[in-house]
Amino acid sequence: MELLYAQGMLDNAQGRDFRSPALKELLRKLRELAYGADDVLDELDYFRIQDALEGTYHAAADLDAHGCIDGLLLNARHTARGAAHKLRLSSSCPRGASANRGDPDDEAEGGKQGCLCSIRTRVVSRARSAAHIIGKNLTCYSFPSIDHDDDAMWESSNMAASGRQFLCGAWQSKAVQRNHVVQTPKKEFDRVGMSHKMIEIVEQLKALCGKVSTILNLELLGSNRTPNQDTTMNRPKTTPNIVEPELFGRDGLKKNIVDDITHGKYCTNELTVVPLVGPGGIGKTTLTQHIFRELQNYFQVSVWICVSLDFNADRLLQEIVNKIPKVNGEKGNVVIVTTRIPKVASMVTTTNYSSINVERLSHEDTMSFFEVCVFGDQRPWEDHPELRDVGNIIVTKLKGFPLAAKTVGRLLRNQLTLDHWTRVAESREWELQTNDIDIMPALKLSYDYLPFHLQQCFSYCALFPEDYEFGSKELTHFWIGLGIIRSHDQAKRTEDVALCYLNDLVNHGFFRKNEKENGARYVIHDLLHDLAVKVSSYECLCIYSSNVRSIQIPASVRHLSIIVENTDVKDIITFKEYNSYLSALGKRLKVQNLRTLVLFGEYHGNFAKTFRGLFREARALRTIFLSGASYSVDDVLLDFSELLHLRYLGIKSVRNKDMCLPSALFRSYHLEVIDLESWGGSFGSTSQMSSLVKLRHFVVPEDSLKLHSSICEVGKLKFLEELRRFEVGKETKGFELSQLGELTELGGSLGIYNLEKVQKKDAANELKLIHKNHLHKLILEWCIDRPNQNAEQEEHVIESLVPHSNLQDLCIRGHGGANCPSWLGRYLSVENLESLSLCDVSWSTLPPLGKLGFVAGEEWQSHVSSQGFHILKRLEIVKIPKLQKWVGNEPCHLFSVLEVVIFIDCPELVELPFSHPTSHRAKHDENMSWFPKLRELKIISCPKLASLPPIPWTQAPCSAEIRQAGSVFEKLVYTENYKSELSLIVEGKDGQHGVLWNGLAFHNLAGLKELRVENCPPLPLIHLEKLKSLKSLEITGMSNSLLLFKGESYSTECPLPVEQLEIKHCGADGKELTQVLSYFPKLTQLVVISCEKITELGVAELQTEMTTPSSSGNEIEIEHAQAGHHQTRGEEVEYAAEKGGGLLLLPRQLEGLTIDECKELRLLSNPLDKVNDNPRGGGGLQSLCSLQSLGIFSCPRFLSSYSSCASSCSPFPTSLQQLYLFGVEGMETLAPLSNLISLTILSVYDCGDLRGEGLWPLVTQGSLTQLQIYKTPKFFTGSEPSRPHDQEIPSSSSKLEQLWTDDWAGVLTAPICRLLSCSLTKLSFSQNEEVERFTEEQEEALHLLNSLQGLDFRNCGKLQRLPAGLTKLASLKILRIRLCPAIQLLPKDRLPTSLQELDIRHCPAIKSLPKDGLPSSLRKLQVFHGISEELKRQCRKLKGTIPIIIDYHD
Give CA–CA dist 1201/1194, Å, rounded. Answer: 16
Q: Say which range, 2-6, 592-596, 1218-1222, 1326-1330, has the weakest mean pLDDT.
A: 2-6
Residue 571 pLDDT level (bands cut at 50, 70, 90): confident
Residues 6+ positions from 389 with CB-CB distance below 8 Å: none
Q: Residue 65: is its pLDDT beyond 80?
A: no
- 526-559: b or e for each residue (b if 16 or more CB lie within 10 Å)? bbbbbbbbebbbebbbbbbbeebeeeeeeebbbb
The type of residue at 589 is L
Q: Residue 1254: is its pLDDT beyond 90?
A: no
**Partners of residue 678 on adjacent β-strands:** 652
Residue 1278 pLDDT level (bands cut at 50, 70, 90): low
Q: What is the DSSP string of 1016-1056?
A: -----HHHHTT-TT--EEEEES--S--S--TT----TTS--
Highest mean pLDDT among 85-89, 381-385, 1015-1019, 1313-1317: 1313-1317
Give CA–CA dist 1038/1090, Å, rounded. Answer: 11
- 732-747: b or e for each residue (b if 16 or more CB lie within 10 Å)? eeebbbebbbbbebbb
Beta strand 697-699 with 809-813 is unpaired
Q: Residue 546: is its pLDDT beyond 70?
A: yes
What pLDDT does 1175 receive?
42
Give CA–CA dist 1443/1420, Å, rounded. Answer: 6
**Partners of residue 1098 on adjacent β-strands:** 1145
* CA dihedral of 1087, 1091, 1094, 1096, whole degrees rounded to 10: 50
Are 308 and 465 a contacting pair, CB within 8 Å? Answer: yes
Are 1075 and 1122 a contacting pair, CB within 8 Å? Answer: no
Q: Tell me what the mean pLDDT of segment 918-928 comes to.
A: 55
- Selection from 1184, 1030, 1028, 1221 nearest residue 1101 by Cα: 1184
Give CA–CA dist 588/560, Å, rounded. Answer: 13
What pLDDT does 762 receive?
76
For 331: left if phi > 0, alpha if psi spans -120 to 50, otherwise beta; the answer is beta
Q: Residue 114: is its pLDDT beyond 50?
A: no
Q: State the CB neighbour count (10 A cutoff) for residue 332.
A: 17
Q: Residue 126: is its pLDDT beyond 70?
A: no
The type of residue at 452 is F
Beta strand 1010-1014 with 1032-1036 is parallel
pLDDT 10s digits, 646-666: 999 999 988 888 888 888 889
Q: Residue 1139: is its pLDDT beyond 80?
A: no
Give CA–CA dist 431/425, Å, rounded. Answer: 11
pLDDT 10s digits, 255-314: 888 888 887 777 767 788 888 887 677 788 888 888 888 887 788 788 888 776 566 677
Q: Which long-range contacts (CB under 8 A, 24 or more apart) does 286-291 make?
A: 286/247, 286/402, 287/247, 287/250, 287/253, 287/254, 287/358, 288/336, 288/338, 290/247, 290/250, 290/254, 291/254, 291/257, 291/258, 291/336
- Selection from 380, 377, 401 nearest residue 391 by Cα: 380
Q: Residue 994: is its pLDDT beyond 70?
A: no
What pLDDT does 1109 receive?
36
Q: Tell me what the mean pLDDT of segment 676-693 comes to.
A: 87
pLDDT 10s digits, 1078-1134: 888 999 999 999 998 999 999 987 544 443 333 334 433 334 444 444 445 556 556
Residues 6+ positions from 354 with CB-CB distance below 8 Å: none
Q: Tell me what the mean pLDDT of segment 419-431 comes to.
A: 74
Residue 348 pLDDT level (bands cut at 50, 70, 90): confident
In terms of pLDDT, which residue wins out, 25 or 695?
Answer: 695
Q: Tell me what the mean pLDDT of segment 558-570 comes to.
A: 91
What pLDDT does 363 receive?
85
**Partners of residue 753 on adjacent β-strands:** 727
Q: Residue 1315: is its pLDDT beyond 70?
A: yes
Q: Residue 1209: is its pLDDT beyond 80?
A: no
Q: What average pLDDT does the structure give for the chain?
A: 79
Q: Say which range, 1-15, 418-432, 1324-1338, has the weakest mean pLDDT.
A: 1-15
According to DSSP H, which parts of 91-149 are helical? Answer: 114-136
- Selection from 1392, 1385, 1388, 1314 nearest residue 1351 by Cα: 1392
Radius of gyration of the chain (CA): 38
Are 127 and 67 a contacting pair, CB within 8 Å? Answer: no
Give CA–CA dist 908/215, Å, rounded. Answer: 84
Give CA–CA dist 569/312, Å, rounded. Answer: 11
Q: Residue 458: is its pLDDT beyond 50?
A: yes
What pLDDT does 1205 receive?
53
Residues 6+ positions from 816 with CB-CB distance below 8 Å: 756, 782, 789, 790, 791, 794, 842
Give CA–CA dist 1369/1010, Å, rounded. Answer: 50
Residue 69 pLDDT level (bands cut at 50, 70, 90): very low
Residue 976 is given by DSSP the state: E
The type of residue at 1311 is P
Q: Residue 134: is its pLDDT beyond 50?
A: no
- 971-981: b or e for each residue (b if 16 or more CB lie within 10 Å)? bbbbeeeeeee
What pLDDT does 8 receive?
64
Give CA–CA dist 387/378, Å, rounded. Answer: 15
Give CA–CA dist 909/965, Å, rounded. Answer: 10
Q: Residue 825: is its pLDDT beyond 70?
A: yes
Residues 6+ positions from 776 with CB-CB distance below 8 Å: 747, 748, 749, 807, 808, 809
pTM over 0.85: no
Residues 6+ positions from 27 with CB-CB distance below 8 Å: 10, 13, 18, 212
Q: Residue 543: is its pLDDT beyond 60?
A: yes
Residue 1239 pLDDT level (bands cut at 50, 70, 90): very high
- Selection from 1227, 1224, 1230 nearest residue 1256 by Cα: 1230
What pLDDT does 143 receive?
29
Exposed / middle / buried, residue 22 (Cβ in 10 Å: 0-12, 13-18, 19+)? exposed
Beta strand 661-662 with 166-167 is antiparallel
The type of residue at 760 is K
